Amino acid sequence: MTVSSAPGKVYLFGEHAVVYGEPAVPCAIELRARVEVNRRDDGKLRVHAEDLSLDGFTVEYSGTTDDRPDVNVSESLLSAATEYVDEAIEQVRAVTGEDDVGFDVTIESDIPLGAGLGSSAAVVVAAIDAATRELGTTLEPVELAERAYRTEYEVQDGQASRADTFCSATGGAVRVEGDDCRSIDAPDLPFVIGFDGGAGDTGQLVAGVRTLREEYDFAEDTVETVGDLVRAGEDALADGDLEELGQLMDFNHGLLSALGVSSRSLDRMVWAARDAGALGAKLTGAGGGGCIVALDPTPETETALSFTPGCEDAFRAELAEEGVRQLE
């Protein structure tokens, strides 16, 4: 048995634009996914995932379409639920050369699914780390992050950045621009998260921005403007200027809205945070529904969000200094 955990993340700035080569700054947070794997010699993959919105289920299959598990949910829901883990195991087979190996995989996660806190990256990073170690191979963090990126790239139909997976693998605050991924210093960032209880489909939302960008120059310009904003944000980060960081988060949310990835409940939470005196607030991750992140050193934003209609959960998130963690 081998067990690893990896953290989720919030985007201080730069989601979506990072897919087109602009810089982004995600920060790992202390919400983790824990993945346990045991090798199987029959080549099958058995996934036990208690936190999936399918109400928790166990499936057993070999990964071919004619051997899908017998559970009473639609094929599309099932594939959305299982494809990140399936592809992570494909990456493990490729990197170890053990093409026919199977696994029992058990996933437990604190990270809400599809809500912009990087649950997919955390599950994929922890799964690849645990499964490779189970086979006697230890990947360096950079190679682990690369394999996890390839997993997201495949599942999201060739539209993914290295940001979530690198951040989850290494922890801390990171800066990602294309294939240049590095850890950066960050001041103490008082993150408050609001969660509307919903989810967005990352692949679809990324595809929507791509289409908009192909159709309208303004959308291409907006993506570039996000890049300019991130560069300004790096200076504010280096100076520890929380007020400017907050203001830039507000701008970033406006630009994401222009790209069509916000939602009524995300906007409502963003405004509730601003009205409560947050230094800034924006959606985090792919959008469509899910989470916002605000900066507020006082308790006001968390309290205001907890009384905001449509906000299901409000909580503070600490920066996770440690990325992937080997538990057993």
Ligand X SMILES: C[C@@](O)(CCOP(=O)(O)O)CC(=O)O
Spatial neighbors of 111 by CB under 8 A, at least 6 apart, are 8, 31, 32, 33, 117, 118, 119, 122
- 105 beta partners: 37, 47
- Residue number with the shortest CB distance to Mg ion? 120
What one-character DSSP code corresponds to residue 288?
S
Select from 128-136, 140-148, 159-167, 218-226 the region that touches ligand X (CB under 6 A). 159-167
- Cβ 167 vs Cβ 27: under 8 Å: yes
Spatial neighbors of 201 by CB under 8 A, at least 6 apart, are 80, 114, 286, 288
Residue 295 labelled as part of a binding site: no
Rg (CA), the chain: 19
Residue 112 labelled as part of a binding site: yes
Instruction: Give the 3-state secondary structure of residue 129.
Output: helix
**In the complex, minimum distance from the CB of residue 22 to ligand X, in angstroms, rounded to a whole number:** 10
Residue 172 labelled as part of a binding site: no
Residue 273 labelled as part of a binding site: no
Contact letters for ligand X, residues 227-256 (x by CB under 6 A): ------------------------------
Residue 276 labelled as part of a binding site: no
Q: Does 161 bind ligand X (CB under 6 A)?
A: yes
Q: Does 18 bind ligand X (CB under 6 A)?
A: yes
Please report the sign of the dihedral spanned by the C-alpha atoms of residue 180, residue 181, residue 183, residue 188.
Answer: positive
Point out the catalytic residue in the list 129, 164, 196, 296: 164
Interaction with ligand X in 192-231: which residues (CB under 6 A)?
A: 202, 206
Select from 29-37, 64-72, 89-97, 114-122 the region that touches ligand X (CB under 6 A). 114-122
Among 7, 23, 112, 118, binds ligand X (CB under 6 A): 118
67 phi/psi in degrees, rounded to 5: -130, 45
Write out the H or E segment, with its range, that includes residue 250.
helix 242-258
How many residues of this chain interact with ligand X, rule: CB under 6 A? Answer: 17
**In the complex, minimum distance from the CB of residue 220 to ligand ADP, in angstroms, rounded to a whole number:** 24
**In the complex, minimum distance from the CB of residue 16 to ligand X, in angstroms, rounded to a whole number:** 5
Q: Which is nearer to ligand X, 2 or 170 (CB)?
A: 170
Of the candidates 212, 298, 306, the residue with the CA atom closest to the CA atom of residue 255: 212
Among 4, 91, 106, 120, binds Mg ion (CB under 5 A): 120
Residue 66 known to be catalytic: no
Interaction with ligand X in 61-100: which residues (CB under 6 A)?
A: none
Q: Does 168 bind ligand X (CB under 6 A)?
A: no
Of the candidates 146, 153, 81, 147, the residue with the CA atom closest to the CA atom of residue 119: 81
Residue 212 labelled as part of a binding site: no
Q: Which is nearer to ligand X, 134 or 146 (CB)?
A: 146
**In the complex, minimum distance from the CB of residue 115 to ligand X, in angstroms, rounded to a whole number:** 7
Q: Does 165 bind Mg ion (CB under 5 A)?
A: no
What CA–CA distance (Å, rounded) separates 320 from 141? 16
- Cβ 132 vs Cβ 7: under 8 Å: no
**In the complex, minimum distance from the CB of residue 251 to ligand X, in angstroms, rounded to a whole number:** 17
44's tokens: 């099958």
Neighbours of 302 (CB within 10 A): 20
The catalytic residues are 164
Instruction: Point out which residues bind Mg ion (CB under 5 A).
Output: 120, 202
